[in-house]
Chain A
């Protein structure tokens, strides 16, 4: 860094990537990056993100034939007190979906912009159910590629995931309680490789079992997290954290969690 400039901080790096710096500061930040290769790599990654994200969504900036009609329909529905047919249709459709999904549990919409400050940094314990939930939401609904390695290669699956996680791993057998293995995949858990196993019952209901490293290395009891019908049981056993997630009853999920706990090496 040149001697007369103020120190480069993270906000400068964001502004650099987003093109908000004046030429003088920009040159200073560039010089600093030349001497800080790790930061330079990070900034280059951010720039790639920017480009990728822009190209992902730029084509959505488009007119569509129904736009004018949409606007007049919405305007018209506001001038009449009765619920618009369209709105009623959407409400009915939403109710139907919720009913079919079987997730009618007291849903409370969060108040507008309730989060005014920065949330606390997640600890491994707090983030485990969040990560388990995300993994479930992303992969359990994936019809074509829910897993990377299928159940037919169970031995390979265990050794592959065990190798990637750096500890021996048995794939729990849940067939006694009605869930058959679909397969597994590698997923990031707290920034490290973790394993996600997916199971399915005869009705096609899926549950996932997430296994990940836990650097805090402290043991917890069984804990429970519930979010709009999506249930997660999780526990931490020394260096490894486990989370079982599914859109099924708490009782049934606990059966699965108990079974996993019994089968995973302690």
Chain B
């Protein structure tokens, strides 16, 4: 079970939150969790699917939450789910076409070609490296926070971050060669 990074539960005798409290906290976190799930996945549909699984798992495991830093706790759950489901779902996302069509679209910013290149490069990352990269860059966690959250040595976090960045750089440089020098 993923642990929160704090290591401190509520004080003994602390009144337990009333019913609905936990659900409301999760509900408030959904936008942030949606961003994290999308940053790990290859499509909007896959991102929503992962988000739903994460919500379900968080609710089912609510008694393991130590009462602080719900976001880090939920992100750890999401990361585990992502690593376990990634392989089978990227090729056959378990979401129907109808369902995917119903997803609200997100305004796309920037040069579509640049976005495609970056997306392609991100999709080439190993899952564990991608997760660390996104937790740092998109979710703004410090290296030690990521290590605590994922129960990893700090050195592993740094080497995963490093591998992700080098790999992206290689991929983007290669893509550059292709698109800039394509012969007629």
Interface residues of A (CB under 8 A from B): 10-11, 14-15, 18, 20, 42, 45-46, 49-50, 52-64, 67-68, 70-72, 74-75, 77-78, 90, 93-94, 97-98, 101, 103, 107, 109-110, 112-113, 115-118, 134, 137-138, 141, 148, 160, 163, 185-188, 191, 193, 227-228, 230
Contacts and interface: CB of A to CB of B under 8 A. Distances in A.
A113 B94 contact: no
Interface string B91-103: 1111110000000
A193 B177 contact: yes
Nearest to A149: B182
Binding site of A, secondary structure by majority: helix, strand, loop or mixed? helix
13 contacts: A49-B137, A49-B172, A53-B133, A54-B138, A55-B109, A56-B118, A60-B38, A68-B27, A74-B56, A116-B156, A118-B159, A138-B120, A193-B174
A110 B90 contact: no
B92 A97 contact: yes
Interface string B164-176: 0100111110110
A62 B34 CA distance: 7
Given A57-B38, A60-B47, A113-B150, A138 B138 contact: no
B59 A58 contact: no
Q: Across chains A and B, which 3 residue pairs bring their CB atoms closest together, nearest first?
A: A188-B174, A94-B94, A61-B35
Given A60-B106, A75-B23, A107-B88, A53 B159 contact: no
B115 interface: yes
Interface string B33-72: 0110011000000010000100110011000000000000
B179 to A, nearest CB: 9
Contacts of A185: 178
Contacts of A115: 128
Interface residues of B, number: 73
B104 interface: yes
Contact of A61 (B31, B109, B168, B175): B31
Given A71-B23, A193-B174, A60 B35 contact: yes
B182 A14 contact: no
A228 B86 CA distance: 12
Contact of A57 (B30, B138, B156, B165): B138
Contacts of A134: 123-124
Nearest to B109: A55
Contacts of A230: 91
A109 B83 CA distance: 9
B151 interface: yes
Contact of A227 (B47, B85, B87, B134): B87
Nearest to B142: A20
